[in-house]
Amino acid sequence: MKYTQLGRTGLKVSRLVLGTMNFGPQTDEADSHAIMDAALDAGVNFFDTANVYGGPDNKGRTEKIVGNWFAKGGDRRDKVVLATKVYGNMAAAGDAWPNHDKLSALNIRRAVDASLKRLQTDYIDLYQFHHIDRRTPFEEIWQAIDVLVQQGKILYVGSSNFPGYKIAQANEIAARRNGTIGLVSEQCLYNLAERRAEMEVIPAAQDYGLGVIPWSPLQGGLLGGVVKKEIAGGRRATGRAAETLADPGARAQIQAYEDLLDKHGIDPGEAALAWLLTRPGVTGPIVGPRTAEQLESALRAVELELSQEVLDGLDEIFPGPGPSPEAFAW
């Protein structure tokens, strides 16, 4: 496994991030534990979860699965850089209550303690804001975070799904507060087929020293060889990927992508991950395996070196918007 620093911090993390969103809804606890064991054995030390993961009727289930794995011992917790998130309402459907979501100081305090209990740990390495809160000022947010850092409950703070201007705003306000390091990472939607983060989010992250952690690196399976699998009678595309393939132009683009990689004997899913690892500012993509086989494929991507010919071909198929303001002006 290869490692890098998380943004401007001294924290070393693996260049693949183990995403746990499927643990519970898609993968049972025993198989989830086996995947985590395999990831740790392979050197993956960066695990990502969220308090709301587990399914709409079982929020928190994923954190409990991870916590039960930590409880098995064997220095599991000590070896893992643990990231979780706060923002979503944890109440059951139809039972929402004021102040049980978003980023108020009250909810942050409540959510941290609940996550620590489910995760069976006394600290969280990277506590991430799952979305922007347009009503809570960053002065309040950072005050709440300062207390949690002083209490030893969290070490670093990251963002997720933040626009560039909010990354700047958060860290400018943090810089005015003594002892507040600010955001150290941004977890954003970024892959070959969805490159809008290159316009402002990634440049802002780089300027402020945030590590970029792309989620959905295969664009919901679209970049994992979906056309070839469909033709072979395998698993058909569903959800967002199926909607995309229903458009003839988009389907032709994905076919061109698969043809390019087939020409070079490269697995599409591994190529999509390897491409992200070449991108400036990227710490490592989040992979969310449902099975041990999917984890093995993701691990191979870390060692995959894409030739300049392949990289040029990928840019031709998925050119991306380019940086701002040139993406929409001059």
Q: What is the pLDDT of residues 196-220, one digit of tens each?
A: 999 999 999 999 999 999 999 999 9
- pLDDT computed for residue 234 by the predictor: 67
CA distance 42 to 296: 9
CA distance 33 to 97: 33
Q: Is the pLDDT of residue 94 over 80?
A: no
- pLDDT computed for residue 95 by the predictor: 81
What is the b/e burial string over 268-299, where b = at least 16 CB atoms within 10 angstroms of the residue's CB?
A: bbbbbbbbbbebebbbbbbbbbbeeebbebbb
Beta carbons of 47 and 80 less than 8 angstroms apart: yes
- pLDDT computed for residue 236 by the predictor: 72
What mean pLDDT value characterizes the chain? 96
Which of 97-101, 233-237, 306-310 bottoms out in mean pLDDT, i.e. has the lowest? 233-237
pLDDT band at 231 (very low <50, low <70, confident <90, very high): confident
- pLDDT computed for residue 239 by the predictor: 78
Token readout for 263 is 């020409």
Residues 119-145, mean pLDDT to the nearest whole number: 98
Contacts for 272 with CB less than 8 Å, ≥ 6 apart: 191, 192, 217, 218, 219, 223, 224, 301
Task: Output the pTM of the full model.
Answer: 0.96
Contacts for 191 with CB less than 8 Å, ≥ 6 apart: 214, 216, 217, 218, 219, 223, 272, 276, 285
3 state SS for the chain: CCEEECCCCCCEEECCEEECCCECCCECHHHHHHHHHHHHHCCCCEEECCCCCCCCCCCCHHHHHHHHHHCCCCCHHHHCEEEEEECCCCCCCCCCCCCCCCCCHHHHHHHHHHHHHHHCCCCEEEEEECCCCCCCCHHHHHHHHHHHHHCCCEEEEEEECCCHHHHHHHHHHHHCCCCCCCEEEEEEECECCECHHHCCHHHHHHHCCCEEEEECCCCCCCCCCHHHHHHCCCCCCCHHHHHHHCCHHHHHHHHHHHHHHHHCCCCHHHHHHHHHHCCCCECCCEECCCCHHHHHHHHHHHHCCCCHHHHHHHHHHCCCCCCCCCCCCC
- pLDDT computed for residue 242 by the predictor: 84
- pLDDT computed for residue 178 by the predictor: 82
Beta carbons of 142 and 173 less than 8 angstroms apart: yes
CA distance 304 to 274: 6
Encode pLDDT of 248-297 as tens digits: 999 999 999 999 999 999 999 999 999 999 999 999 999 999 999 999 99
- pLDDT computed for residue 243 by the predictor: 87
pLDDT band at 167 (very low <50, low <70, confident <90, very high): very high
Residues 161-187, mean pLDDT to the nearest whole number: 96
Residues 75-85, mean pLDDT to the nearest whole number: 98
Q: Which of 3, 53, 87, 156 is catalytic?
A: 53
Encode pLDDT of 21-33 as tens digits: 999 999 999 999 9
Percent of the chain's residues with pLDDT above 70: 99
What is the phi/psi pair of residue 4, to 5°? Answer: -150, 170
Residues 178-187, mean pLDDT to the nearest whole number: 93
User: 44, 37, 49, 64: which is closest to 292 by C-alpha?
Assistant: 37
Residues 39-58, mean pLDDT to the nearest whole number: 97
Indicate the angle between helix axes 164-175 and 138-150, nearest 10 degrees: 60
Which of 86-95, 116-125, 175-184 bottoms out in mean pLDDT, i.e. has the lowest? 86-95
Whether 190 is a known active-site residue: answer no
